[in-house]
Amino acid sequence: MKIKLDENLPVKLVPRLTALGHQVHTPREESLSGARDLEVWEAAQREARFLITQDLDFSDTRRFVPGAHAGILLVRLQNPSRAALIQRIEALFQSENVAEWSGCFVVVTESKVRIRRPVRR
């Protein structure tokens, strides 16, 4: 899976997700550090990358309609320490079939994974 890891997540996730077979880019690698959300979003979409973020600005499914993008994973932990984020995301990518999340809006908490899939017409 091609992934864009938002800068609000630990960069230590890059080698861990890469070891699981994913191609991971960060805003910093692309000179987008401190860039507005829209710029990061546009970069992710140009490259057809699945965006992993903690940013609630990406939670509006009316604006980010499932099926109209490469996919979004919104991580919502109650205590989002670096260690907790790394542990939860790495475990998720080891246990779930994340390839099926292409085009989906996914929210993950400590105990749940909710997936909003594109509407089929």
Q: If we measure between CA atoms, which residue out of 90, 40, 99, 98 comes closest to residue 64?
A: 40
Q: What is the distance, to the nearest Å, from the Cα of residue 72 to the centroid of all Cα atoms in its chain?
A: 5
The CA distance from 29 to 68, in Å, is 25
pTM (predicted TM-score): 0.94
Work out the number of other CB atoms within 10 angstroms of the CB of residue 96: 14
Q: How confident is the model at residue 37 (pLDDT cuts 50, 70, 90)?
A: confident
> Tens digits of per-residue pLDDT, 47-57?
999 999 999 99
Domains defined along the chain, listed by start: 2-116 (3.40.50)
> Residue 4 is inside which H or E element, if any?
strand 2-5
Contact present, 85 and 105 (Cβ < 8 Å):
no
